[in-house]
Structure formats: structure tokens, C-alpha cells
């Protein structure tokens, strides 16, 4: 089985001002946190299960290849996923975990050529995906000047998480990723609190709230805590979401038309892709308006 590898010795990028949060990009590139499907063996199309729903047209078990997966590991309906009922695939982001498992952990072993490692590869992929997602959030937190009091702890957490991604397949399969995620989440929350504390006025706390279909048109949610909130199909038209913490918020079909998401914390491109919006929706770089808006 593959052995543990050492991380490349490269100079770290310093945290930059909030208006230049895209400066996290060099470190994200170094860590390989952007999906490169051409270097992956279609792991998200095989390892992960999904059920027939508004997000998926069929039900598929874990370890069973999606019928749309081609022999070259590309999707046969990639350009037509939404119309054919696979919007869940459109919004999925592995944060680069697919190529990490395929090319590093298993040293480019194709699960079709080496079925003896297929099950272990499929077990490792969701663990790696969580670790890469944490790295994504940690790089953002380190680029927030207001979070400087916890930068040292954030850097330690990032380094530890990076080392975990370079573990052997056996180590990754046995990792208590939930415990590690909890530790990192505590630091990310502290970083969020430091940033939002600088915003004047009372901030709303909707952490984990059920706001499915809620009428939040024009709502003043600047600096709000919306961590893990269910905002499915919520009307957030013209809402003020500046510097709101949106980590893990479910924005599927939420209407963000005209909403101001400037400086929104831990907001990902996949969350935006799952939502609705228009050219009037305000975003901070490097986030961009999804093509279907």
C-alpha cells in the first residue's frame, strides 16, 4: 500500500487584507484544492451514493458507477446535467480530493485496473473530501486580518490537516474525521466571531435554523450567523448578507437576486451554483456569478 509522503517545502503566503481575500488562491493552488477531473478516476461518480430526488434522476449505491460515467472517467452528459435531472452533480465540489486520492494516496492506480483497492479507495475519498474542504476554509480564515488573534492556531490546524491528507490509505480510512472537523470548526467559528464583532449593531443568530422557504426579502443580515442554516428556496432578494457567516448553509434554490454578499464568510462557489441569482447579486472575488443565473 502507498506510504506516507512528505509535504513539499514551499514558502507560505501571508494573510492579506479582507478586500484581497483572493490572495488565499496561491496557497489553495499549492494544496491542490481545486478539482481537476482529468486527474481523477471518476471517484465522485462511483464512491458516493445518491437517491432519486430533485437533485438526482436515479438512485445509486456507494461503489456502483453512475451509468453516465464513461470508460475515460468523464461524464457522458456533463453539458446537460441540469436538464437530465442531475443538478446535484453540477453543484458538487470535491475541493481537489478526487485527484489527491487518485494520484497521491493510491499512486495513480485505476480502480478498474486494480479492483482489490477499489473498496478502500471509495472509503478514503469522502474522508479526503472533508479534509480538503477544511483546508479551503482554513486558507480563507488565514486571509482575514480581523482573525489575526487566532492565525497561529489556524496555521497549526492547516498544517496538521495537510499532513493528514498525506497519510496512507489505511490511516485515512481509520481517521476520526468528525473529531478533527469539530476541532477545526471551533477555530473557524472564532475567526468568524472576530470578523463579525467589528460590524456595528446587533447581529442575528440563525445558526442551524430551519429557514426553508422563508421570506427574507430585503432582510438585514449583515454579519449574521447563518452557519448550517437551511435556506432552501428562501427568498433572499435584496437581502443584506455582507460579512454573514454562511459556512455549511444550504442555499439550494434560494433566491439571491439583488442580494449583497460582499465579504460573506466561508461562502463557496458550489453554494452559489445551487442557488438562484442575477447580475445584480453582489459578490466578492474570487466568487463569480454562476452561468445559469
pLDDT averaged over consecutive 10-residue blocks of the chain (293 residues)?
Answer: 38 36 80 96 96 95 95 94 94 97 95 87 97 98 97 98 98 97 98 97 96 98 98 98 98 98 97 97 95 92
pLDDT at position 148 is 97
Question: Can you name the residues that pair with 235 across neighbouring β-strands?
Answer: 215, 255
Residues 7, 27 contacting (CB under 8 angstroms): no
pLDDT at position 23 is 60
C-alpha cell at 291: 452561468
Rg of the chain over all Cα atoms, to the nearest angstrom? 19
pLDDT at position 14 is 31
Domain boundaries, the chain: 19-196, 201-293
pLDDT at position 22 is 53
pLDDT at position 84 is 95
pLDDT at position 113 is 82
Q: Which of 189, 184, 139 is closest to 16 using CA atoms?
A: 139
Cβ partners under 8 Å of residue 173, min gap 6? 120, 123, 124, 127
pLDDT at position 5 is 39
Which homologous superfamily does the CATH classification assign to the domain defined by 201-293? E3 ubiquitin-protein ligase SopA (2.160.20.80)
Amino acid at each position: 500500500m502507498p506510504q506516507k509522503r512528505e509535504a513539499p517545502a514551499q514558502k507560505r503566503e501571508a494573510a492579506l487584507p479582507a478586500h484581497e481575500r483572493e490572495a488565499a488562491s496561491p496557497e489553495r493552488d499549492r494544496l491542490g484544492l481545486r478539482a481537476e477531473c482529468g486527474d481523477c478516476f471518476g471517484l465522485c461518480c462511483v464512491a458516493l451514493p445518491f437517491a432519486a430526488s430533485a437533485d438526482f434522476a436515479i438512485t445509486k449505491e456507494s461503489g456502483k458507477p453512475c451509468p453516465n460515467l464513461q470508460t475515460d472517467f468523464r461524464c457522458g452528459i456533463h453539458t446537460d446535467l441540469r436538464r437530465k435531472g442531475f443538478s446535484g452533480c453540477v453543484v458538487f465540489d470535491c475541493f481537489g480530493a478526487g485527484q489527491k486520492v487518485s494520484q497521491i494516496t493510491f499512486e495513480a492506480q485505476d480502480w478498474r485496473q486494480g479492483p482489490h483497492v477499489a473498496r478502500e479507495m471509495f472509503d478514503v475519498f469522502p474522508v479526503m473530501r472533508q479534509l480538503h474542504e477544511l483546508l479551503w476554509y482554513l486558507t480563507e480564515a488565514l486571509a482575514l486580518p480581523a482573525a489575526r488573534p487566532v492565525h497561529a492556531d489556524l496555521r497549526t490546524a492547516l498544517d496538521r490537516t495537510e499532513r493528514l491528507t498525506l497519510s496512507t490509505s489505511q490511516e485515512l480510512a481509520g481517521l476520526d474525521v468528525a473529531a478533527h472537523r469539530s476541532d477545526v470548526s471551533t477555530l473557524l467559528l472564532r475567526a468568524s466571531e472576530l470578523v463579525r464583532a467589528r460590524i456595528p449593531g446587533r447581529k442575528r443568530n440563525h445558526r442551524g435554523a430551519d429557514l426553508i422557504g422563508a421570506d427574507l426579502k430585503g432582510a438585514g443580515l449583515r454579519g449574521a450567523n447563518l452557519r448550517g442554516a437551511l435556506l432552501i428556496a428562501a427568498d433572499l432578494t435584496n437581502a443584506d448578507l455582507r460579512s454573514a457567516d454562511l459556512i455549511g448553509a444550504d442555499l439550494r434554490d434560494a433566491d439571491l437576486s439583488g442580494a449583497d454578499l460582499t465579504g460573506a464568510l466561508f461562502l463557496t462557489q458550489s453554494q452559489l451554483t445551487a442557488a438562484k441569482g442575477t447580475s445584480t447579486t453582489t459578490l466578492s472575488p474570487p466568487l463569480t456569478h454562476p452561468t445559469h443565473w
